Chains A and B, each alone.
Chain A
Amino acid sequence: MSQLFPKSANKLPLQIAIYLVVLVGLATAGVTYYMTPKYTRVGYAPVQPVPYSHALHVGQLGLDCRYCHSNIEQSGYANIPTSQTCMNCHNQVKKDSPLLAVVRKSYETGEAVPWVKIHQVPDYVYFNHAVHVNRGVSCVECHGKINEMEVVAHAQPLSMGFCLNCHRDPATFVREKADIYNLDSPTIAARAGPEAGSKFVHDWKIKPPQSCTGCHR
């Protein structure tokens, strides 16, 4: 009687084991790559050319966000301040600090200080700061407590799911106009209950887009 299985079948258990290991390995690698905060760069805190501390300037000295990010209420981009903006104060304060040499040089030559970009959405996403800050969304919702950060770190995933979270339920996240740049302020819903949040959304006719065209062009 001939053999039911060819001789090569002896290797089959081993092969299956290897395939399984590879499969599980790939799955693990996939999950590790795509499903952890690292994928969305949460926690990313590159060292900047100038050790600018938001904790000092905003948290302790109380600078308004808009002093430096001056175009945020008009433009889609939250501008990084020009070196001239830094020099407004630093031609008086700490004007010889070696830490500021880069800024001084940039101010003199006009060459940009190469700030490392932290918050970054893909190129096909058209996020607009102006409309968010003018209509009840505080900086803190996406950027975290910048006013407590020595070095700015990526606080939220800024993934499409993260955006839609708020776009589907704006009432939970909106703030009064006066609180937009106060990163320690509570949301309306947290302070006065969810009805107050819903009322604000209703009164302001806040209807954040949930379809593709809202962000993708």
Chain B
Amino acid sequence: MKRKFEHPAPSERELTGPKYWRSLDELAATPGFKAQLEREFPDGASLPDGVDRRHFMKIMAASFALGGLSLAGCRRPEKFVLPYGKSVEGVIPGLPRYFATAMPLRKSAIPLLAETQQGRPTKLEGNPTYAPHGGASSLLAQASVLDLYDPERATAHTQDGAVLDAAAVNALLAKIGADYAATSGEGLAFLAEESSSPTRSRLVAQLKQALPRAIWAEYEPVADEPPLTAAQSAFGQNVKPLYRFAKAKRIVSLDADFFHSEAGSLYYAREFAKGRRVASREDAEKMNRLYVAESGFTLTGGMADHRLRLASSHMLALAAALAVKVTGSSTFAPLAEGLDVKAQWIEECAADLRAHQGESLVVAGAHLPAQVHAIAYAINSALGNIGATVDFVTVEAQGATNIKGLAIAIRANLVKTLVVLGGNPAYNAPADLDWVALQKSVPQVVRFGYYRDETSALAGTHLAAAHYLESWGDARTVDGTVVPVQPMILPLFGGQTEIEVLARIGGLANADPYALVFQTITALAGGDADKTFRKFLHDGLLEGSAYAPVPVAFNADAVSALFAKAAKFEALSKDNLEVRYVTDHKMDDGRFANNGWLQECPDPITKISWDNAILISPRLAREIGVYPQGSFLQIARIEGVESDPMGRENSHVAEITVGGRKIRGPIHVQPGLSNYTLILPLGYGRTKAGHVGTGAGFDVYPLRTTGAMAFATGATITLTGAKMVLANTQAHWSMEGRDLVREANATGPDSYAENPAFVEEVGMEAETPSTIGEEGRKMTPAQRATLLPRGNSLYKTPDFQGLEQWGMSIDLNTCTGCNACVVACQAENNIPIVGREQAIRGREMHWIRLDRYYSDGRADAGAFGGDNNREIPEDPQVSLQPVACMQCELAPCEMVCPVNATVHDDEGLNTMAYNRCIGTRYCANNCPYKVRRFNYFDWNQRQLDSLYLGPVGPQGMPELVQMAKNPEVTVRMRGVMEKCTYCTQRIQNGKIQHKVKTAQAGNPADVIVPDGTIKSACQQVCPVEAIVFGNILDPESVVSKAKALSQDYSLLGYLNVRPRTTYLAKLRNPNPRMPDYAALPLSRVEHDRKNHPGEAHPAAEPKTGREHAAQPVNPTFGGLS
């Protein structure tokens, strides 16, 4: 039936009044009703005057009936579509747009592409135009988008509690500039963070010119670039090293965590992986070798082929000893005296370096003193590595005062106005400065910051900073390439940018940050200004702006002056401990404390989330009496008789004293530490971070003084008797001799080179007939997926009729365990955080997790379930393994679902239909990989501190947080199971985009998406390209090729679940001449000992260096410290 409606002419109200209540009344068109509706829309609480309730209901009913809608009103809510008034160029609702920008951090930046959904950025990816990163990004970059939508960020400019509007702020800043112009800046001081922004450095130079007597100080709590003094004395130039890891065959790291905490770590990890990836025997022979000496346990140490546990304060001696052996000159010999490291270790390491002149590399940690760097430069110079594996580039000379200098000025009452730009000195300044008192003593403090934090609390004026995704700016990457910082959205709360503040104080006529950046870039680039700038913004980088390497010559004489000041190291013991302050993996220096994604992300080595802990070695734990007595080998974290019944880490709280300063924190016994070093991760214990960050962990900064910013000796530790439960997400640390991570040495006896298909001889598959039969083993992955029958079960298995069959391969050989995939997945898939209390209960929701295993080659069959070897390994090898849903072709979860909420699709995905799920959790119970996650609470709608209040508690998601969600993925509710979907939204959208493209091009039969178009979020972020994803039906796809490699294996393959995700085995490349050489990776030794007890396995006996079996209780190892 055709409907014909005569529309009533719009009333005056319709033309002028609010537009939202416009349907029922018009349909009803009852004159009396209309008149009543002149009022607020009646909701029963406020009824129209002169009409009794009965009459009102009558009219209501009539109006519904007239409209022919009857029950419609209570069926679905009326919704509106709100198009733009004026069309917006380039915006197509429903399609994301991508803009180039960059995340600045200290003196470097990560170039990014920001995905915006109708104006709001939701996801960040690496900018593929920047070749050194190849489209990858980092953990911190992935999480930084959440900060933009943090409801607790500073939302207004304030002065003494009163809100300032933009005009007042501008007037205030201009007044500061004008007032101090009279005194040439005397009495004015700035404290800023380090920055690589060319615009900022230009403005600072202008400011210094205009106000020559003003103090410009910079402070960063952690160092991520080598000290310039080392380069100054070694080369007589202001240069910094840029390492070319891809060219280095032998790499020695002196306490340098170049996979995570050093500047440029993304580039370095990526380059390192290039020398690590193995596809053939030839690759295995050419594989690089990594020697790491370190005090803590970093990701770099986890990748090491030879790892030496050595206190940070002894690094100088090790560097000197190495230099003696490499160069043959005894200049540095006195520095190495008394070093307690096996001579053979140093000799063989040096010999290996000498054998690889020009293709070796020695890297020293940024936190180490200049002397160590100078020696590293000397070694690299002697090996001919300069210009080959390490380039030196000129950097700007240090023009800023340090925080100590500023403190002296404040103490001398020379500072009347202090402008604190970013940072958080009240929290992280060295303890001996007593910054809180200093800042209070300054008459006027203007704080420019993103959060209203510890420093803001002491400042009279707080100016809200804009997030970098709201700012115009620029920055340089570690290699000097200039990249734009482009806003994706107008400042949500009217925040200003740093350059804007500086320009206003400097009295610049035009303080518009866009104009400032435009001036800088066009002056740098030259040529047609508009064109250059457009290209700059489009590409996301200024082509050719990278620093050019400069020739340097090592000057041995000049260096000697540096060593006059070298401190002699001390022997360490239980009563003279070393403390090492480390940049936290997630909180960095504390600036990301209110980021829930980062707080909940477990540390890759300790696996603790939401907290930091005092990390101590098993040896020290024994000596101070917190060694987990009588615990089973595989669960090291059940401590003593008070063990938590749930197997949670119930740790002792200890007090550390260094130079009279004390802090308290929980102890975590960490295998692989230098014996007498306490590792203290910075960035926790914030007191004014916001709901997420306040109170997480303990604050280490009160220990740290200007003289010992990275490490200090003379510390003692005492137990307080208190206990504290930590949210440790992986209490289990042993593989129990199983074959989860399969490893081999690259070369040597029983190695990959000897037997590239070694994975088939490890584990259950080697002991049992193949689940897929001989025929199945000969098939390609594509044939296995489509031809091999999946039957003999009551459960109807899916037909894989799809034109594409998705699969994934994860290369354990290059995976460094950086956690970027975990948070990238969280950002892409709207994964909620659950908070500390729920994480303790093991309810974290991450779809992909990183399993971490230790092995020391000592566990045998008796260790598992028996009484043997209940020791925490002191010097283990670590194996990391990312685990997400494997998309099993014969998925055990599907067979037990009573409501068919999890079923297969025809492209091989194990799907979750959320609205079918009734929450029985059978699927999670039946999942052999434990990758399914259950929404125990409505994480999205409830606040994490009132989960147990039920309906009484507050409900709803702040609008700001809603903006962070990816509109392409359902937000799940309570009682629903969820898990990795291979980013099915990306697959679907990728297929749709491709089909649309080919159909419009007149080629509709081309429906197969080209390889590499669809990337899962974890794949896209991975700095080392360890994760590849694609169509396994295409033999030329990257994933097919990876799966065809001989070292490809299925995790728990013997269960015949036929996972679509498979792993490439991990290879190690130890040097047979080293004292700690293990002819088989230690996990394999444990595997063989468990599965073939009594069988002599010649390769399984480690050489003397590790001597584990001989001395089980107090073993001595290669690197004593």
Q: Are B80 and A117 in contact (CB under 8 A)?
A: yes
Q: Are A46 and B92 in contact (CB under 8 A)?
A: no
Which residues in A have their C-beta under 8 angstroms from that of B773?
Answer: none
Q: Are B1000 and A135 in contact (CB under 8 A)?
A: no
Q: How far is the CA of A105 from the CA of B75 in the complex (A)?
A: 32
CB distance from A150 to the nearest CB of B (A): 5
A98 contacts chain B at the CB level, 8 A cutoff? yes
Q: Given the known inter-chain contacts A38-B72, A107-B85, A115-B83, please indicate yes or no for A46 contacting B1004, CB distance below 8 A.
A: no
CB distance from B480 to the nearest CB of A (A): 39
Contact code string B39-71 (vs A, CB < 8 Å = 1, else 0) = 000000000000000000000000000001111
Q: How far is the CA of A171 from the CA of B534 in the complex (A)?
A: 48
Q: Are A135 and B93 in contact (CB under 8 A)?
A: no
Contact code string A116-159 (vs B, CB < 8 Å = 1, else 0) = 11001011101010110011000000000000111101000000
Q: Which of A85, A108, A211 contacts B904 (CB 8 A)?
A: A211
List B973-1021 residues whose CB lies under 8 Å from chain A.
Answer: 981, 984-985, 987-988, 992, 995-996, 999-1000, 1004-1005, 1007
Contact code string A70-84 (vs B, CB < 8 Å = 1, else 0) = 010111110111111
Q: Given the known inter-chain contacts A205-B1005, A217-B981, please indicate yes or no for A49 contacting B93, CB distance below 8 A.
A: no
A207 contacts chain B at the CB level, 8 A cutoff? yes
Q: Which of A44, A82, A135, A207 contacts B83 (CB 8 A)?
A: A82
Q: Are A83 and B79 in contact (CB under 8 A)?
A: no
Q: How far is the CA of A113 from the CA of B981 in the complex (A)?
A: 38
Q: Are B968 and A216 in contact (CB under 8 A)?
A: no
CB distance from B1017 to the nearest CB of A (A): 13
Q: Given the known inter-chain contacts A45-B5, A114-B19, A128-B992, please indicate yes or no for A212 contacting B72, CB distance below 8 A.
A: no
CB distance from A97 to the nearest CB of B (A): 10
B905 contacts chain A at the CB level, 8 A cutoff? yes
Q: Are A150 and B76 in contact (CB under 8 A)?
A: no
Q: Which of A39, A116, A131 contacts B996 (CB 8 A)?
A: A131
Q: Which of A51, A113, A205, A217 contacts B984 (CB 8 A)?
A: A217
Q: Given the known inter-chain contacts A38-B70, A73-B996, please indicate yes or no for A213 contacting B981, CB distance below 8 A.
A: yes
CB distance from A116 to the nearest CB of B (A): 6
B913 contacts chain A at the CB level, 8 A cutoff? yes
Q: Are A216 and B81 in contact (CB under 8 A)?
A: no
CB distance from B984 to the nearest CB of A (A): 5
Q: Which of B4, B95, B907, B968 contacts A126 (CB 8 A)?
A: B968
Contact code string A2-26 (vs B, CB < 8 Å = 1, else 0) = 0000000000000000000000000
Q: Are B85 and A207 in contact (CB under 8 A)?
A: no
Which residues in A have their C-beta under 8 angstroms from that of B69?
Answer: 44
Q: Given the known inter-chain contacts A76-B94, A101-B15, A110-B84, please indicate yes or no for A47 contacting B22, CB distance below 8 A.
A: yes
A41 contacts chain B at the CB level, 8 A cutoff? yes
Q: Given the known inter-chain contacts A83-B83, A110-B85, A204-B1005, please indicate yes or no for A213 contacting B988, CB distance below 8 A.
A: yes
Which residues in A have their C-beta under 8 angstroms from that of B981?
Answer: 213, 217
Q: Which of B3, B906, B987 contacts A153 (CB 8 A)?
A: B3
Q: Are A98 and B10 in contact (CB under 8 A)?
A: yes
B78 contacts chain A at the CB level, 8 A cutoff? yes
Chain B contact residues: helix, strand, loop or mixed: loop
- Chain A, interface size: which category? 35 or more
B86 contacts chain A at the CB level, 8 A cutoff? yes
Q: Are A46 and B23 in contact (CB under 8 A)?
A: yes
Q: Given the known inter-chain contacts A41-B75, A110-B85, A131-B996, please indicate yes or no for A149 contacting B3, CB distance below 8 A.
A: yes
Q: Given the known inter-chain contacts A211-B911, A214-B988, please indicate yes or no for A102 contacting B1004, CB distance below 8 A.
A: no
Q: How far is the CA of A122 from the CA of B915 in the complex (A)?
A: 10
CB distance from A83 to the nearest CB of B (A): 5
CB distance from A185 to the nearest CB of B (A): 18
Q: Which of A106, A123, A130, A212 contacts B903 (CB 8 A)?
A: A212
Closest chain B residue to A215 by CB distance?
B988
Q: Are A38 and B75 in contact (CB under 8 A)?
A: yes
CB distance from B938 to the nearest CB of A (A): 15
Closest chain B residue to A200 by CB distance?
B1004
CB distance from B273 to the nearest CB of A (A): 31
B441 contacts chain A at the CB level, 8 A cutoff? no
Which of B75, B85, B93, B984 neighbours the largest number of chain A CB atoms within 10 Å of its CB? B85
Q: Are B19 and A102 in contact (CB under 8 A)?
A: yes
Q: Are B80 and A204 in contact (CB under 8 A)?
A: no
Q: Given the known inter-chain contacts A84-B87, A126-B985, please indicate yes or no for A74 contacting B71, CB distance below 8 A.
A: no
Q: Which of A73, A79, A213, A216 contacts B93 (CB 8 A)?
A: A79
Which residues in B have their C-beta under 8 angstroms from that of A83?
Answer: 83-86
A30 contacts chain B at the CB level, 8 A cutoff? no
CB distance from A30 to the nearest CB of B (A): 13
Q: Are B995 and A112 in contact (CB under 8 A)?
A: no
Q: How far is the CA of A207 from the CA of B803 in the complex (A)?
A: 9
Which residues in B have their C-beta under 8 angstroms from that of A71?
Answer: 92-95
A209 contacts chain B at the CB level, 8 A cutoff? yes
Q: Are B1005 and A212 in contact (CB under 8 A)?
A: no
Which residues in A have their C-beta under 8 angstroms from that of B987?
Answer: 213
CB distance from A105 to the nearest CB of B (A): 8
Which residues in B have their C-beta under 8 angstroms from that of A39?
Answer: 75
Q: Given the known inter-chain contacts A131-B995, A217-B969, please indicate yes or no for A116 contacting B92, CB distance below 8 A.
A: no
Which residues in A have their C-beta under 8 angstroms from that of B86?
Answer: 82-84, 107, 110
Q: Which of B26, B68, B76 contacts A120 (CB 8 A)?
A: B76
Q: Are B15 and A114 in contact (CB under 8 A)?
A: no
Closest chain A residue to B901 by CB distance?
A212
Q: Are A81 and B83 in contact (CB under 8 A)?
A: yes
Which residues in B have their C-beta under 8 angstroms from that of A135?
Answer: 995, 999, 1004
Q: How far is the CA of A130 from the CA of B905 in the complex (A)?
A: 22
List A41-64 residues whose CB lies under 8 Å from chain B.
Answer: 41, 43-47, 49, 51
Closest chain B residue to A101 by CB distance?
B15
Q: Are A217 and B79 in contact (CB under 8 A)?
A: no
Q: How far is the CA of A12 from the CA of B4 in the complex (A)?
A: 54
Q: How far is the CA of A112 from the CA of B912 in the complex (A)?
A: 37
B9 contacts chain A at the CB level, 8 A cutoff? yes
Which residues in A have their C-beta under 8 angstroms from that of B94?
Answer: 71, 75-77, 79
B531 contacts chain A at the CB level, 8 A cutoff? no
Closest chain A residue to B992 by CB distance?
A131
Q: Are A211 and B9 in contact (CB under 8 A)?
A: no
B914 contacts chain A at the CB level, 8 A cutoff? yes
A109 contacts chain B at the CB level, 8 A cutoff? yes
B27 contacts chain A at the CB level, 8 A cutoff? yes
A96 contacts chain B at the CB level, 8 A cutoff? no
Which residues in B have their C-beta under 8 angstroms from that of A73?
Answer: 996, 1000
Which residues in B have their C-beta under 8 angstroms from that of A112?
Answer: 82-85
Q: How far is the CA of A171 from the CA of B459 in the complex (A)?
A: 71
Q: How far is the CA of A118 from the CA of B981 in the complex (A)?
A: 31
Q: How far is the CA of A105 from the CA of B904 in the complex (A)?
A: 51
B740 contacts chain A at the CB level, 8 A cutoff? no
Closest chain A residue to B26 by CB distance?
A47
B767 contacts chain A at the CB level, 8 A cutoff? no
B30 contacts chain A at the CB level, 8 A cutoff? no
Which residues in B have their C-beta under 8 angstroms from that of A82?
Answer: 83-87
Which residues in B have their C-beta under 8 angstroms from that of A81?
Answer: 83
Q: How far is the CA of A125 from the CA of B78 in the complex (A)?
A: 18
B778 contacts chain A at the CB level, 8 A cutoff? no
A184 contacts chain B at the CB level, 8 A cutoff? no
Which residues in B have their C-beta under 8 angstroms from that of A126?
Answer: 968, 985, 988
Q: Which of B4, B83, B985 contacts A217 (CB 8 A)?
A: B985
Q: Are A217 and B968 in contact (CB under 8 A)?
A: yes
Which residues in B have their C-beta under 8 angstroms from that of A101?
Answer: 10, 15
Q: Are B83 and A216 in contact (CB under 8 A)?
A: no
Q: How far is the CA of A216 from the CA of B87 in the complex (A)?
A: 30
Q: Are B1000 and A134 in contact (CB under 8 A)?
A: yes
Q: List 14 A-B contacts (CB under 8 A).
A: A38-B71, A39-B75, A75-B92, A79-B92, A83-B85, A99-B9, A110-B84, A112-B84, A115-B82, A120-B79, A204-B999, A207-B1007, A211-B906, A212-B903
Given contacts A47-B5, A115-B81, 9 further A-B contacts (CB under 8 A): A75-B95, A79-B83, A99-B7, A115-B80, A117-B78, A117-B80, A149-B3, A205-B1005, A213-B988
8 interchain residue pairs of minimum CB distance? A211-B905, A112-B82, A51-B7, A77-B94, A110-B85, A75-B94, A134-B999, A117-B79
